[in-house]
Amino acid sequence: DTLVDNDAVSRNLLKVYALSFIPHGAACNPDGYEYLKDTLVDNDVTEDQFDLVFSHIEDIMFCLRIDCDDLSIPPTPQFSAAYDYMCAGGVDFDLAFDFAGYIPKTNVNEILRLDLDILQIGIFLETEAYEAAVDYYTYGYNAQLSSGTLLSLSDLATSDTRTNVPLQYEDFHQYYENQNYADAIMLNILNRQYVFADASPQQLSALATSYLQGMVMYMAVLEKLYTAIDDCKNSSSKDGGVKSWDTGAAMYVGSIDAVRPSSGMMMYALGNEMCEFFETCDNTDKTDRAYVSKRIMEALVNGKNLLDDGQCDGAFALITNSIIDILPVPLVQATLHFAKENEMLEAGTDSPELGRGNAYASSIVPLANDENPDEAAIIENNMHFVLTDQPVPDGSQAVFSAFVVVLPGFGIDCNDVGKYIPVGDEETSVCAVEEERPEDPGDTPTDLGDGLYTTTTYVQDRANIAADMVEIMKQLENGNKEIAREIYARGGNSDIFNENGVKIGQRSFGNFSTSETLQMKDEEMYALYTYALQDNEGKFNGRDVRLYADSIVQEAFETRSLADKTVGGEAALVFNLWMYTVHELYQTLRKCKNRVIADTDGVHSIDEVVAYWIGDGQQTGSQNGHLLYAWAETQGNLFRSNQFGQTRTNSNIIRLFNEAKLELSFPNACVDNPNTYPRLRIIVDKIIAVMTVPIIQGLIHYLRNTDTTRARLYAKAFIPHAAGCNLGTYQWLKTRLIDFSWSAIEVDAIVEGIESTYSCLGLTCEDIGEYRYYDRKTCENEKDIMPLADYTPESDVRPYSRLDLDVLSMYISMSRGAYGAAADTYKHGKHAVLDDGNEQQVLSLYQLATSTGWSSVPQFDSFARYYGSDRYANDIVQRGLAPSLDPHASLEQRSELVVKGSQLLVVQMAVLAAMHEALDDCKSANPERQAAAGAAWDKAAAYLAGSNGRTKHGLMHFALADNRCAQFGTCDTDGKSQAGKKLTTLLYAGRAEINGKACSALSKTIEEIVPVLFVPLIQGTLRYAVELNKGTNVFGATTNGDVAEGYIYSRSILPLVEDANRESAVIIDRNFDWPDATSTIRTNTDEIFDAFSKAYKGLKVDCKMVGETSGFSACEGARYSEREEGGGDNTGMIVGIIVGVIAAVAVSALIWVKHPNLGKDTSSVMVDSEQAASLVTNEAGLVESGENKSKNPFGKKSEEVKLVRNEAGEFNEDSQMNENAVHSSQVNHNEPLKGEDVEDALV
C-alpha cells in the first residue's frame, strides 16, 4: 500500500514494513530476498522496478501459503496496482501451478515446496539451530500431502521404490555398501559426527544443502520417472503414470525456480548455476538457463504428453535416450568447478566451498566407479572432506583427466559439460581430443570384408576395433601382457565422435564388459549369463558377477602356458565383443519398440552390429580376420560346415542381418507399422541363436582335443545358454566343466548334454556340423512328434510346449532384477514360435492371459466375476513386473507373482480353453474344424507338460503335481502323482474320443479332467498354509517368497472355492490375501484345511487324492470323497464309452492310436482299451506298455559312465555318481536365487 506513494512519509513506512516482511523471504527465495532488500530497504524503489517487486512478493506469498483471499483489505487506489498484478489470475493453491514452462496435469504444488525444506535446513545449520535442521530433514515441514502427512527429505533418501531405477540406484547402493547411503551421510552431517565433527556451521550448511540437491534429488527424480512408466503399464493405474511423472518434474525444478531461474535448491537450479562457468547457458529465450535444463524440461513435457496418450514405451525411451545421459551433467560441472576453486585452499579451511565440492563429487563418483574404479578413486581422493588434508592434493587437472576417461561410459557428451573458463585462467575441457574427422563421412557406406558386406551407413569407426585385437594378439604373442592389457582397457583405434564430428573418446574391449554393462542389466542374455555364472554370494571370481566378462579376460591374461598365451585375446572376443554385439541388437529392438527409430537410424543400428561381427581387414571365408566373423570361420571349418565359400554360420548370420535391415529400411517402419517390432524380434532371436554356434563348436572341439584351458573358457560361454533350456542339464554341466574337472570318459556324455539343448536354442545338428576329428555321429535332431510327459500327441505341438521356456526365462530375468527383460518375454514371447508356412509368429503368455478364447471355459466366468476383470491373470502378473505397485515386496516375492502367476493362472486356464476349443471343433459341422480338434487337444497336453516334461526341473502342471505328491503322500511307487497319472489316462481317452467323433463323451472327459487339475493347486495352497504358520513376520520386513507363492496358489483356486462354499473362500482369502507393508504374516493351518474340507464336494475333488502333509489331512472333517459317494475313478467308464462309441460307428472294438516311427512313415499300434491307463513312451516316442518303461527315452547311454537322460534331456547319474558332485546351498532370500534353489522357486 505504501509502495506506490512517492512521498517521504510513505517511503519511510515502506522501509519499516519491508524490514518486517523481507526476512520471511530469506527462507523462501534467496534471490528474491536480496532483490527486495536492495530495492526496498537499502535504496529507494523506482516505478520501473514495481513489476519485479510484485513478482518477488508473489513468490514469497506462495512460500508462506498466503493467497489473494487472505489479502482481505479492500483495494485502495494505492493498493490496486500490486493487487491487480499478483491477483488478477488469482493465487489459488487448489490449482496446479505451472513451473519452468511445464504445465502439469495433476496438482504437484506441495512437491514443488520440497526445495524450501532444503533451503531452511541450510539456514538452520548456518545459524546453529541443529535440532530444527534434524526435525525438518526427518519429518518435513513445507510439503503437505493430500493425506495430511508431510513428505520429508528423509522419506526420499530412504524410499523403497528407488529400486525402480534399474542401474543408477544399484551403483550407489553397491559403492556405499548401504541401501540408505544418502540418509546415512545426511545424519552424519546433521549430527556433526565422524569427518563432519569439526566442520564450521557454514560448511555444514553447504554440505547438507548440496548433498540434498545432488545425491538425494538426482535419485528421487529418476525414481519418480521410472515409477511413472510402471504406473502407465499397470492397467489399474488411474492416471496412467502422469501423476508420478509430474511429481518427478516438480522434484527436478522446485518452487524457487518455478517462475524464473533463481538460486534454487534442485538439480534444475544447479545446472543453471554451473552453465555460466562452462559456457553452456542458453540465451536464446532470455532465461539464462542451462542447455541441459532446457533439454530436460522439453523431454519432461514430451513424456507427460506421451503418458497422457498411454504411450508408456515412448515415455520410457525419453528417459533412456533424452534424460539419463544429461541429468548428471550439472553434478560433473559442479565437481570440476569446485576442484578448480578448492585447489587453492589451505588445510584446515572453513570455506563452505569445500563442502559443496565434496557433496557434488560424492553424487557422481558411484557412476564413475562403475565405469572405471581407478579414475573414480582419483576423483574421490581429491574431493573428499577431510579438514586436516590439503584440498585437491593432486590438483584440479587430475580430476579433469579422470572425467576424460569416465565420461564416455556415462553416455555424456563432453560438449554438454563444456569448457571450464574461470576468470583470468585458461580454459580446460573434459573432451579427450578435440580433433575433427578429416572429412565428415555422413552416410558414406562402409565396405566390410572387401565386398563381403557393404553397409548403408558409415560404420568404419566401429570396424576399426579389429585393429585393437590385432595389437592385443601381437603383444600377447611377444609376451607383453601388460601392454596387451592396456590396449584391452583403453583401446587405441576405434574413435568415438559426437554428432558434431568431434572426437570424445575411444572404444575398447574392456569398456564393452565394464561401463556398457550399465545398459545391459535389463537385457535377457546378460541376465542369463550373470544368473548362470554367479556364486552363492552373487560374485564371479571374487568380483561382482556383472563384470564376469572382464574377470574371465583378466584371468586369461594371467595364463603361464605358452600354448595358451593368446587366450586372453580370444576371451575378449568370445565374451566382451560377443555380448556387446548382442547388446547392440537389443538396443535396436528397444528403440524400435519405443518408436524412436526414424529415417536411417534403424539401418545404421544393424550396420553397427555387422561392423562388430566382421570388422576391418576381413576377407570372405577367411580365418585370418580379427573379429567374430573370422572366429566363426575358424570354428566352423572344424565341423565341415563350409557353405558358399564361407561357413554355414556366417552365411546364415549375414542373411539374417540383411533381413533385419530390410525390416527397418522402410520409412518410419517402427513408428507406422505395428508388425515391424514383432518380426524384428524374431529375427534378432535367430541372430543370437546363430551367434551361439561357434561357442558350441569351440566347446566340443576343445573337449575332444583335450585343451582344458580353452574348453573351460568356452564352457563358461555356453553353460548360461543351457540354463535357459533346462536347469538340470545346466547344473550337471556346470558341476563338471566349471566347478570341477572332467575325465576323458565323460566327454561323450558331456557332448550329449550339449546336444540336448539345440532345439531349445533354435538350432539343429546341421547348424553345428560334424566334427572333423571324430567319426562317430552322435547328434540327432528333435523329432516332429515328441512325448509330452507320459502322453504322446498325434500332432506337432512342440511350439506350445516351449512356453515353459518363457516361464524359465522370466524367472531368470526376475531373479536378476531385469524387469524389462521379463516383461518383454511375457508380453512378446520368445520360444513358442508358430509357423504356418508363410509367416512366423510368436505365442506369448500375455496373449494367452488376454485371450478372448477363455470365455468358452465354464470356470472362466467364476474367475472373471471373482476378480472383477476378465484379465485377472494378466493383472496379477503385471503387478509383479511393476515394482512400484508393491514397493515393500522383495525381488523374490515379485518373481513369484510373475512366475507362479504365469504357471498357475495363465497356463491353467489356457489348458481348459484348448480343451474346449477341441470340443467345439469336434461338434462343428465343418470338416476342417473337425480335423483340427485333435491338434487343439494335443495343444492342451503341450501346455500341461511343457518341453521339460514330467521331470524334477519341469515347470508345468505335470511337474508341479509330481512335486506336490511327494509332500502329500499321493505318489505312486514310481514317484509320479496319482493326479498326474489319472490326467494322462484322461488325455488318451479324450484323444480317442476325438478320433471316434464321440463329442458327448469328450465333454464328460473334460468335466472329469477339471477336478484333477485342481488337486496340485489345492495341495500347493495347503502346503503354504503349513509353511506360513511356522513363524510370524511383518511383510515389509521379510523377503521370503513363500508369501507370494501362497497368494498365487490360493488365487488359482479361490474363485471356484467361492462357488462351492462362500464361507470357505472367505477364510482362505483372509489367510492368503496380499499383505501391506505392516501386515503380520501367519496362517491358521487348521482353519484353512477345514475350509477346504467343506468345499471338496462342490469342487468334485477327492480329498484322498489331495492327501496329507505335516500331520494335517485333507480328508479330516471332509464332507466329500469320490469313493465314499460312489464316484470312484470314472476312467473305466470313459474307456467303456469310447469302445461303445467306436463300435457303434463300426470302426473297431479296439482303439487305434497313431504314433511316429523315428520320423519315417506313421504306423499304427493296436491297444486294448483296458491297457490305456498303463501306456508309456519309449525312446522313439512310441507308446508301449508299462513293462518297458525303464528304457531311456533318449536311447543312448555312455558306455563308460553310468549316465542316463530323462525325457526332457536332463542328465542324471545312478547311485554311483561322483561323491564330489556339488549341490548349491540353501536359498539366500536377500539375493537372487542360484543353482538348484530354483527347484523350490519354480516347482
Lowest-pLDDT choice from 156-160, 1052-1056, 1200-1204 = 1200-1204
Alpha-carbon span 432 to 279, nearest angstrom = 18
pLDDT at 593: 87
Q: Which three cell numbers stand for residue 1204?
A: 542316463
Provide the grid cell at 650: 556366417
Q: What is the DSSP string of 969-990?
A: T-B-TTS-BHHHHHHHHHHHHH
**Span 203-219, average pLDDT:** 95
CA angle 1146, 1149, 1152 (to 5 degrees): 95
User: Are 1235 and 1224 a contacting pair, CB within 8 Å?
Assistant: yes
- Per-residue pLDDT band for 83 (boundaries 50, 70, 90) equals low
Q: Is the pLDDT at 427 greater than 90, yes or no?
A: no
What pLDDT, on the 0 to 100 scale, is given for residue 1151? Answer: 32
Least confident of 146-160, 637-651, 971-985, 1182-1196: 1182-1196
Q: What is the pLDDT of residue 568?
A: 95
- CA nearest neighbour of 499 among 340, 686, 325: 325
Sign of the C-alpha dihedral, residues 671, 676, 682, 685? negative
Greater confidence (589 vs 443) lies with 589
pLDDT at residue number 1143 = 39
pLDDT tier at 1231 (50, 70, 90 boundaries)? very low
d(CA 962, CA 513): 42
Rounded Cα distance, 169 and 157, in Å: 11
Q: Give the tens place of pLDDT for each residue, 4-57.
A: 555 666 677 877 887 888 788 777 777 777 778 878 778 877 777 777 777 777
Nearest to 715 by CA among 684, 749, 762, 754: 754
Cβ-contact 347, 390 below 8 angstroms: yes
- Phi first, then psi, for residue 1185 (nearest 5°) are -75, 165
Which among 133, 101, 131, 129 has a CA at the least distance from the CA of 117?
A: 133
d(Cα 547, Cα 159) in Å, to the nearest integer? 28
- Res 1118 pLDDT > 70: no
937 close to 783: Cβ distance less than 8 angstroms:
no
* Residue 668 banded pLDDT, cuts 50, 70, 90: confident
Share of the chain above pLDDT 70, in %: 82
pLDDT for the residue 1146: 33
What is the average per-residue pLDDT within 350-372? 92
Distances, alpha carbon 452 to alpha carbons 455, 505, 616, 742, 753, in Å: 10, 29, 11, 41, 35
Around Cβ 835, how many Cβ atoms within 10 Å?
A: 9
Choose among 287, 308, 309, 310: nearest CA to 297: 287
CB atoms within 10 A of CB 85: 16
Rounded to an integer, what distance in angstroms lies between the CA atom of residue 280 and that of residue 253? 18
What is the DSSP track for 572-614?
A: IIIIIIHHHHHHHHHHHHHHHHTT---TTHHHHHHHHHHHHHH
- Under a CB-based contact definition with an 8 Å cutoff, are residues 94 and 108 in contact? no
Q: What is the CA radius of gyration of the chain?
A: 34
Tens of pLDDT, residues 278-304: 888 876 655 678 889 988 998 899 888
**Residues 6+ positions from 610 with CB-CB distance below 8 Å:** 448, 453, 455, 459, 654, 657
Q: Which residue has the cell 522383495?
A: 890
Which pLDDT score is estimated for 1035?
Answer: 56
Residue 1133: predicted pLDDT: 47
CA distances from 524 to 233, 521, 721, 725 (A): 19, 8, 11, 13
Question: What's the pLDDT score for residue 235?
Answer: 55
Q: What is the pLDDT of residues 915-941, one digit of tens each?
A: 999 999 999 999 999 999 999 999 999
Say what percent of the chain tops pLDDT 90: 53
Query: How does pLDDT run across 698-733, given as a tens digit for each residue?
Result: 999 999 999 999 999 999 999 999 999 999 999 999
Residue 763, pLDDT above cutoff 90: yes
Give tens-digit pLDDT for 321-344.
789 889 999 999 999 999 999 998
Q: Which amino acid is at 1114?
A: A
* Closest to 1091 (Cα-Cα) out of 1180, 1025, 1137, 1141: 1025
Give the closest residue to 136 by CA, choosing from 155, 121, 150, 116.
121
Q: On the CB side of 61, how many CA atoms lie within 13 Å of its CA? A: 20
Other Cβ atoms less than 10 A from the Cβ of 162: the count is 25
The alpha carbon torsion through 1235, 1236, 1237, 1238 (nearest 10 deg) reads 90
Q: Where are the beta strands (DSSP E) in 435-525?
A: 447-448, 453-454, 495-497, 503-506
Amino acid at 521: K
* Alpha-carbon span 720 to 727, nearest angstrom: 10
C-alpha cell at 620: 570372405
Q: Do 421 and 277 meet the contact criterion of CB atoms below 8 Å apart?
A: yes
Place of cell 492416471: 239
Average pLDDT over the chain, rounded to whole?
A: 83
Question: Which has the higher per-residue pLDDT, 288 or 880?
Answer: 880
Distance CA 1243, CA 899 (A): 10
CA 990 to chain CA centroid, nearest Å: 41
On whether the CB atoms of residues 1116 and 1089 are closer than 8 A, the answer is: yes
- pLDDT, greater one: 6 or 1142: 6
* CB of 145 closer than 8 Å to CB of 110: yes
Task: Provide the total of helices (H) and of strands (E) in the chain, helices listed first.
Answer: 61, 24
- Quote the distance between the C-alpha of residue 965 and its chain's center: 34
Q: Looking up cell 544418502, which residue turns up?
A: 182
Tell me how far apart the alpha carbons of residues 413 and 410 are, in angstroms, rounded to a whole number.
9
Lowest average pLDDT, out of 77-86, 301-310, 392-401, 1057-1066, goes to 77-86
pLDDT, one tens digit per residue, over 1148-1207 is 333 333 333 323 333 333 333 333 433 333 332 323 333 333 322 222 333 333 344 444
What is the C-alpha separation between 1185 and 351, in angstroms, rounded? 89
Of residues 944 and 559, the one with the higher pLDDT is 944
Higher pLDDT, 1207 or 660: 660
- With a CB cutoff of 8 Å and minimum separation 6, the contacts of 757 are 721, 722, 725, 726, 729, 1209
Q: Cα–Cα distance between 134 and 445 in angstroms, integer? A: 62
Task: Evaluate whether 546 touches 512 at the Cβ level (below 8 Å).
Answer: no
User: Where are the strands (E) in 1069-1214, listed by range?
Assistant: 1080-1081, 1108-1109, 1112-1113, 1151-1155, 1163-1167, 1176-1177, 1183-1184, 1203-1205, 1211-1213
| CA separation for the pair 1161, 349 (Å, rounded) | 91
- Contact between 630 and 618 under an 8 Å Cβ cutoff? The reply is yes
CA-CA distance, 99 to 257, in Å (whole number)?
8
Checking if the pLDDT of 694 tops 90, the result is yes
Whole-angstrom Cα distance, residue 374 to residue 394? 14
Please tell me the pTM assigned to this model. Answer: 0.69
pLDDT of residue 1163: 31
Contacts of 1168 (CB under 8 A, 6+ apart): 1150
In the predicted structure, residue 1010 carries a pLDDT above the cut 50 = yes
408-420 per-position pLDDT tens digit: 777 787 888 888 8
| H/E stretch holding 897 | helix 891-900
737-746: Cβ within 8 A, 24+ apart: 737/711, 737/712, 738/712, 739/1222, 740/1220, 740/1222, 741/708, 742/703, 744/706, 745/1198, 745/1200, 745/1201, 746/1198, 746/1200, 746/1201
